[in-house]
Structure 1
Amino acid sequence: MGVAVNELHRRAVVADLHNDLLCAVVARPVERWAEFFRERWLPQLRAGGVDLQALPVFVEDPFRPEGALRRTLRMIEAAHRLAAGNADAVALCADGAQIDQALAEGRIALVLALESAPGVGEDVELLETLFRLGVRIASLAHFGRTALADGSGEDGTGGRLTRAGVAALAEMERLGMLFDVSHLGAAGVGHVLELASRPVIATHSCARALFDHHRNLTDEQIRGVAAGGGVVCVNFFAPYLHGSDYSIDRLVDHIEHVAGVAGVKHVGLGPDFIKEVLDDTTPPCCERAFVEGVPADAYLPGLVGPAGLPLVTEALQRRGWPEGDIVAVLGENVRRLLRDELGRPASAG
């Protein structure tokens, strides 16, 4: 990798909108949470030049539905403790000003995000509780059905947001919590784009025009997110990029496609580095995990975890991308969106 690539990557604000590392942290004893993050994940984030990291709160199936809220709260507590225990290196941020301050101080800005929100159910008022605890991004479904919406695995139902889901969207807009359309069913995405009065984000989604998978967004959906001022962050999970060619070139194809449809100012990165999380949470005794028939730990060569992110800069430069556009996609677009919207009540105007 050339010096010019490394220099460009170092100068850029690099934002990763989806890394499930909290799942790995919370799997350790409580007293190890901060230390484990410092030992296992902080070096990788630094090596990859990550400046802004969204921390999804993902509740695994065994905790749903009965233990979902408790699991949600425990993961949020883990985020607060790892931030407090590594205050020299990271900061848990509630708004754009705090993100800017963290970056100016050379610390990694962390932002809490709910993935699917099973702990909320129909009790939409709990979104304000979670907002008080620092959550600033949220989605309403994963692959299946929730009390708020259908996930993309249920596209056959044609399900839009439920009444509670519509109320959740309104509550998130009131609070200044970004709505995440990743994982939402196709009809649900359309419903959100009809109703949303503030920008939305796709934290980890690819282009369906390039690979027809229900987890990917259509060009119409991508245009809709961009038209509202939002950002589509491209997922690195190999089986969503192509049926067999698991290469960085296929990832760049999706980045270029989204940029062509939405405009380069509406593209970001949502890597979803699942292999290392699974390595940290799955005992060697157990069988390999699969998602809808494909290995859950599939990855692109060199992009197993955050340390590989400079390869994306190199690949974009190799395709002839201007430096300004590369910087925008690496993180400046996401930084702009979060600065404008994060934690900002609707009444703020």
Structure 2
Amino acid sequence: MDGHCDSILKTNEICDLFDLGSAAHLDFKRALANVNLQIFAAYIDSSYKPFQSLQQGLILIEKFHQAVEQNQEQVKLVCSQEDLATINQKDILHALLAVEGGEILCGRLPLLHLIFRLGVRSIGLTWNQRNEIADGCGESVTKGGLTSFGTLVVQEMNKLGMVIDLAHIAPAGFWDVLEHTHHPVMVSHGNCHGLYPHRRNLNDDQIKALAQNDGVMGITFVPDFLGAGDISIEHVIEHIDYAVSLAGPDHVGLGSDFDGTETMPRGLEDVTKISCIGEELLKKGYPLKDVEKIMGGNFIRLFKTVLPQS
């Protein structure tokens, strides 16, 4: 299972999500053979913020739904706990729709209910900038956490059964969410600050707190968050090792960020290579049960806890 990709952005009038070829790291065709569950994010680019955030978000959501409908015999939209009952079927790609950036809500709680009706089951509360919910990790001056509206969003997402994603949020907001949420949360794609300092990486205390929340951290493949120089699959394994040493094997997963960055680490060029991570972990001596958790079991446990019943 992979906690984050931006592949919806690669679609256009000529090519859809089924077969994007060399233009993308991931599409339905390749994902079908390599993952059981994929989170597809509708990422709202900064050029649309703030005034066109809702419009752009809805366009991306509609593109995703069109692609799922065109491939409904092979792709299953995950909206409830019951939708995960078929998770081990190899001929079905389970797809969960997320929005990356709470700007889509425009500071209005009814829009949260609207996108829930449209099948969105996770929201990354911020991208790098500040929005009506909280400060993103790129806003370093104000050190702001959740706003009053942001607190309402967290509470309402808990009620609806939506997974809160803390990737990109500033540290103050991270801690505020953990104080207010009644459900486990995730960091869909991020790495370990103690191993490589970057504003998008979690410090040791955050990783430990995420585990105490029964949440999951998706180790990402973005080279800029992994280290310096020639980045390879070994860097990803190192960040998995580090996170497991702090949080244990029950709270670590994968969050590739396929198609959210131009380059991928050597050995993880696209989704067809994702199983190599499991192979490397087994070689290092990880028990099979722990590898299965890291390769998807932990995220699936979280979704079975948070998602609504149908």
- TM-score tier by shorter-chain length is over 0.9
Matched position secondary structure for 2:217: strand
2:196 to 206, 211, 229: 211
In the alignment, which of 334, 337, 343 is matched to residue 299 of structure 2? 334
Range 297-306 or range 319-328, more displaced? 297-306
Residue 95 of structure 1: aligned partner: 80
Other structure's SS at 1:94 match: coil
Tell me if 1:232 matches 2:212. Answer: no
Query: 1:325 maps to what in 2?
Result: 290
**Number of corresponding residues:** 304
Q: Which residue of 2 aligns with 1:293?
A: none
Query: Residue 22 in 1 paired to residue 8 in 2?
Result: yes
Please point out which of 135, 140, 143 is paired with 2:125. Answer: 140
Report which of the two structures shows the higher radius of gyration computed on alpha carbons.
1
Consecutive unaligned residues in structure 2, runs of 5 or more: 21-26
The aligned residue for residue 85 of structure 1 is 70
Partner SS, residue 161 of structure 1? coil
Partner of 1:316: 281
Structure 1 residues 249 and 153: CA distance shift in structure 2, 3 A: same
Is the helix fraction higher in 1 or 2? 1
The answer to whether the Cα contact below 8 Å between 1:90 and 1:102 also exists between their aligned partners in 2 is: no
CA distance in 1, matches of 2:200, 2:87: 33
Which aligned segments of 4 or more residues in structure 1 are displaced greater than 4 angstroms?
none
Q: Deviation at 1:156?
A: 3.2
**Partner in structure 1 of residue 103 of structure 2:** 118
Secondary structure (helix, strand or coil) at the match of 1:213 reads coil
> Which segments of 5 or more consecutive residues in structure 1 lack a partner in the other structure?
1-14, 278-295
Contact 1:103/1:109, CA 8 A, preserved across alignment: no
State, as a whole percentage, how many aligned pairs show the same letter: 31
Give 1:113 shift.
0.7
1:344–1:191 CA distance, 2 compared to 1 (3 A): farther
> What is the SS of the residue equivalent to 1:208?
coil
SS at match of 1:155: coil
SS at match of 1:18: strand
Distance across 1 between alignment mates of 2:84 and 2:183: 20
Contact 2:31-2:271 at 8 Å conserved across structures? yes
Query: In 1, are the aligned partners of 2:232 and 2:267 still within 8 Å (CA)?
Result: no
How many angstroms apart in 2 are the aligned matches of 1:113 and 1:191? 21
Corresponding residue number in structure 2 for 1:248? 233
Letter in 2 for 1:21: S
Q: Which residue of 2 aligns with 1:69?
A: 54
Amino acid at match of 1:230: G
Which residue of structure 1 lines up, in the alignment, with residue 265 of structure 2? 300
**Post-superposition CA distance 1:50-103 (Å, at most 9, x none):** 110001110112221221111111111111111111012111110121122354
Q: Are the aligned partners of 1:269 and 1:330 in contact in 2 as well (CA < 8 Å)? A: yes
Task: Confirm or deny that 1:151 pairs with 2:136.
Answer: yes
Q: Is the 8 A contact 2:217 2:252 kept in 1?
A: yes
The SS at the match of 1:254 is helix
Q: Is the 8 A contact 1:68 1:118 kept in 2?
A: yes
- 2:264 touches 2:270 (CA, 8 Å); kept in 1? no
